[in-house]
């Protein structure tokens, strides 16, 4: 009798000991993005992030990635998909929905960005100070920018603004489209996945993207010329990106898994992604070796800065009209970029 009692108590204690393990929540996050699985964005940033959260959660939280819009919809709809829970985590460009995120467009103004790692950290800080309301419907995990934009042209290189006159040129965001128009081009807005088809069919004469995008679109096979800007100068354009999570999904996580997400988001992750994109640029550029590359000199870029100034002035005025202090936001963005570039 006593032996049976001890045995049953032992079994009960054993069951109690294993109960937390049995009931430990396992979570699969649906991660949705617009580039293919082979893209540098996936191999250098999204997959490593997924591996870290799996490891730090003892494999209790894992990703199921859906590259190339495999969950449906279009790239401009990704933000809504994170908001509405169609996906748990998305990676997209705020600029794909023109005018919806005006505060962060300051980072897409001409000649703002020189170092993507520092500028990505600055962007995270800037959103916290000036633009949190624009992203209140999701849980931001990171904000970042890409490396220097490059002209990829089918028939002739870009050496001066005059070379762009009358050419149809793809650009990613409202600000860059406006800048291309000021330089004399006819801007054509489209997400990256459409660029290859548009180049091959002659719908556009060229595109501005960083080298990082080259392999995803096979740009090196579709154009003959690559025109960079003087590397000592800030980039003539960059784009902002957001890596965001569905709020309800985050809130549903137990405290320890929330902590794993918290430890893998924020300013540090933003900088890490910016650094990965710089690495990706170097890899993408290697693929263009057989084509012709030129550098647009500093003297010509000074002319471009003057041509682009009305765009900066208009952004400040637009922010003022929306009840913000546009000049303060512009100065704040520049100060944050400079501070992080100096390693402070």
- What confidence score (pLDDT) does residue 102 get? 97
Q: What is the pLDDT of residue 344?
A: 77
pLDDT of residue 4: 55
Cα angle: 203, vertex 206, 208; to 5 degrees? 125
Domain that holds residue 296: 150-237+290-341
Q: Are the CB atoms for 126 and 338 separated by under 8 Å?
A: no
**62 occurs within a structural domain:** yes
Q: How far is CA 125 from the centre of its chain?
A: 15
246 occurs within a structural domain: yes
Q: Is residue 13 part of a domain?
A: no
Quote the CA–CA distance of 30 and 252 in Å, as a whole number. 15
Question: Do 140 and 154 belong to one domain?
Answer: no
Whether residues 154 and 256 fall in one domain: no
| Residue 90 within any structural domain of the chain | yes
Q: Is 181 exposed, middle or buried (0-12, 13-18, 19+ CB in 10 A)?
A: middle
Q: Is the pLDDT of residue 37 over 80?
A: yes
Share of the chain above pLDDT 70, in %: 93
SS (H, E, C) 152-206: EECCCCCCCHHHHCCCEEEECCHHHHHHHHHCCCEEEECCHHHHHHHHHCCCCCE
CATH number at residue 264: 3.40.190.170
What would the pLDDT profile of 267-323 be if each residue is shown by its tens digit?
999 999 999 999 999 999 999 999 999 999 999 999 999 999 999 999 999 999 999
Is 33 inside a domain boundary?
yes
Average pLDDT for residues 312-337, to the nearest whole number? 98
- Read off the pTM: 0.91
Q: Which residues contact 127 (CB under 8 A, 6 or more apart)?
A: 103, 104, 134, 135, 140, 143
Query: Do residues 106 and 184 both lie within one domain?
Result: no
pLDDT score of 18 = 44
Q: Quick check: is 9 in a domain?
A: no
| Count of structural domains within the chain | 2
Please tell me whether residues 225 and 245 are part of one structural domain.
no
Do the domain assignments include residue 4?
no
The reply to whether 49 and 162 lie within a common domain is no
102 and 38 in a single domain? The answer is: yes
The verdict on 215 and 228 lying in the same domain is: yes
* pLDDT, averaged across the chain: 93
If you average pLDDT over residues 239-257, what whole number do you get?
98
Residues 6+ apart with CB under 8 A from 85: 246, 248, 249
The per-residue pLDDT for 98 is 84
Contacts of 33 (CB under 8 A, 6+ apart): 41, 42, 46, 65, 66, 67, 69, 78, 90, 91, 92
Each residue of 104-154: pLDDT tens digit?
Answer: 999 999 999 989 999 999 999 999 999 999 999 999 999 999 999 999 999
pLDDT at position 162: 97
| Alpha carbons 203 and 181: distance in angstroms, whole number | 17
Cα separation values, 248 from 15, 83, 243, 297, Å: 32, 9, 16, 49
Q: Which of 243, 214, 219 is nearest to 145 (CA)?
A: 243
175 and 295 assigned to the same domain: yes
Q: Tell me, yes or no, whether 117 and 181 share the same domain.
A: no
* Per-residue pLDDT tens digits for 38-91: 999 999 999 999 999 999 999 999 999 999 999 999 999 999 999 999 999 999
**Residue 176 located in a structural domain:** yes
Query: If 0-12 CB within 10 Å is exposed, 13-18 middle and 19+ buried, where does residue 171 land?
Result: buried
The pLDDT tens digits for 161-176 are 999 999 999 999 999 9
| 104/232 same-domain check | no
* Mean pLDDT to the nearest integer, 231-256: 97
Confidence bin at 5 (pLDDT 50/70/90): very low
Answer yes or no: do 136 and 161 share one domain: no
In this prediction, residue 19 carries a pLDDT of 41
Q: Are residues 167 and 194 in the same domain?
A: yes
């Amino acid at each position: 009798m006593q032996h049976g009692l001890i045995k049953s108590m032992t079994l009960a204690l054993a069951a109690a000991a294993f109960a937390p393990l049995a009931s430990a929540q396992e979570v699969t996050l649906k991660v949705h993005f617009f580039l293919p699985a082979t893209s540098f964005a996936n191999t250098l940033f999204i997959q490593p992030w997924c591996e870290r959260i799996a490891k730090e959660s003892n494999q209790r939280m894992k990703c199921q990635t859906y590259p190339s819009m495999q969950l449906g919809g279009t790239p401009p709809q990704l933000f809504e998909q994170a908001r509405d829970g169609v996906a748990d985590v998305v990676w997209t460009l705020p600029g794909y929905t023109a005018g919806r995120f005006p505060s962060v467009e300051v980072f897409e103004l001409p000649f703002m960005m020189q170092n993507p790692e520092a500028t990505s950290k600055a962007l995270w800080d800037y959103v916290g100070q000036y633009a949190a309301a624009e992203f209140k419907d999701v849980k931001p995990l990171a904000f970042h920018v890409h490396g220097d934009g490059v002209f990829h042209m089918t028939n002739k290189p870009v050496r001066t603004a005059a070379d762009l006159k009358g050419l149809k040129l793809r650009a990613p965001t409202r600000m860059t489209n406006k800048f291309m128009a000021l330089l004399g081009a006819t801007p054509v807005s489209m997400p990256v996945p459409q660029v290859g088809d548009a180049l091959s069919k002659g719908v556009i004469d060229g595109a501005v993207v960083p080298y990082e995008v080259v392999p995803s679109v096979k740009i090196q096979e579709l154009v003959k010329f690559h025109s960079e800007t003087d590397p000592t100068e800030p980039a003539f354009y960059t784009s902002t990106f957001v890596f965001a999570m569905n709020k309800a999904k985050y809130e549903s996580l137990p405290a320890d898994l929330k902590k794993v997400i918290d430890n893998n988001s924020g300013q540090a992750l933003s900088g890490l992604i910016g650094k990965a994109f710089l690495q990706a640029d170097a890899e993408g550029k290697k693929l263009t070796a057989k084509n012709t590359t030129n550098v647009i000199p500093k003297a010509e870029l000074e002319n471009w800065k003057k041509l682009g100034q009305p765009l900066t002035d208009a952004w400040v005025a637009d922010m003022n009209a929306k009840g913000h202090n546009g000049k303060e936001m512009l100065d704040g963005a520049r100060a944050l970029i400079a501070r992080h570039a100096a390693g402070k």
